[in-house]
Amino acid sequence: MKAFKVQTVYHAAYKHVPLVEFNMVEGVRNNVFGTWHTAEAAIAAGVEQFVLISTDKAVRPTNVMGTTKRLSELVLQGLASRADVSTRFCMVRFGNVLGSSGSVVPLFKRQIAEGGPITVTHPEITRYFMTIPEVAQLVIQAGTVGTSGSVFVLDMGEPVRIVDLARKMIHLSGLEVRDAENPHGDIEIAFSGLRPGEKLYEELLIGDNVVECAHPRICQAQEAFLPWAEMSALLDALDDACQNFRIDELRVLLLSAPCGYAPTEDGVNDLLWLHR
């Protein structure tokens, strides 16, 4: 950052729900502590602004990934409140990006090419979608407005039912859906069940307190955050639990943190913990 006189840092992290759900320590290490250490490096290097690429899954999270992303937002909001920090921090929260790594679109394309079935977790599951150019433009624009510590939400339009997206992709491929009504169709849609930590509907705002921005597709969320002293104490506790691989304690800390974490199931999904 110093050598190249970096002015703006765009920082993301792990975004894959099952990956983090099954590897809790690494999820916390990368998403929370990775964000914190990168932000501190940016402060030390005199970086002008730091933009966190957040997610709609950070809103009332039902999984560890969403909770760690909400914690990373709180880290940056805490840093922004420090008197000794001149780097401007902001967070941009949005949903799924069409065609990105891990997106359902490349997966569905591959499944169609292989003759199916297309796998959808639940018939009613919905998600927000944007294209890569849309997201890139709005993230850059959001990074130029508001005060340090701001959380921005991108207008992603109406949520899309994943099963409708699957049907549309089958038809756009010149094929037909095979189901009870059309047993001689080409591609079947199979429902595999919700994955651990996955919820049917995503949200973009924790509350209804939002402020309009100059750009019509960007709004600013007004949400509570922790002062840096309290955030620092929480980070110390998280670090201790991670260092000593106390997954049960780590889960309690995530549940008690001000993130609204409400898991969809009881117990821990971490693979190493389950097979210790």
- Written as six digits, the tokens of 29 are 């290490």
Q: Domain limits at 141?
A: 8-95+130-156+203-274
Residue 42 lies in a domain: yes
- pLDDT confidence bin for 118, thresholds 50/70/90: very high
Residue 102 has pLDDT above 60, yes or no: yes
- The catalytic residue positions are 57
Residue 206 has pLDDT above 70, yes or no: no
Residue 246 lies in a domain: yes
Residue 185 lies in a domain: no
Q: Over the stretch 155-197, which tens digit does the pLDDT of each residue have?
A: 778 889 999 999 999 999 999 999 999 999 999 999 999 888 8
Residue 134 has pLDDT above 90, yes or no: no
Residue 144 has pLDDT above 90, yes or no: no
Mean pLDDT of the chain: 89
Residue 154 has pLDDT above 90, yes or no: no
Q: Over the stretch 84-101, which tens digit does the pLDDT of each residue have?
A: 999 999 999 888 888 777
Q: What is the DSSP code (8-state) at residue 29?
A: I
Residue 182 lies in a domain: no
Residue 208 has pLDDT above 60, yes or no: no
Residue 163 lies in a domain: no
Task: Please state whether beta strands 160-161 and 126-127 pair in parallel, antiparallel, or not at all (unpaired).
Answer: antiparallel
Q: What is the DSSP code (8-state) at residue 4?
A: T
CA-CA distance, 70 to 73, in Å (whole number)?
5
Residue 186 lies in a domain: no
Name the residue type at position 89.
Answer: F
Residue 109 lies in a domain: no
Q: What is the CATH number of the domain that holds 151?
A: 3.40.50.720
Q: What is the pLDDT of residue 220?
A: 78
Q: Over the stretch 17-70, which tens digit does the pLDDT of each residue have?
A: 999 999 999 999 999 999 999 999 999 999 999 999 999 899 889 999 999 999
Q: Over the stretch 211-268, which tens digit does the pLDDT of each residue have?
A: 666 677 787 777 778 889 999 999 999 999 999 999 999 999 999 999 999 998 888 8
Q: Which of the pair, 152 or 189, is modelled with greater confidence?
A: 189
Q: Which residues pair with 191 in a beta bridge?
A: 120
The number of folded domains in the chain is 1
Residue 104 lies in a domain: no
Q: What is the pLDDT of residue 172?
A: 94
- Written as six digits, the tokens of 43 are 């402060």
Question: Cα separations (Å) of 129 from 77, 154, 176, 211?
Answer: 26, 11, 24, 22
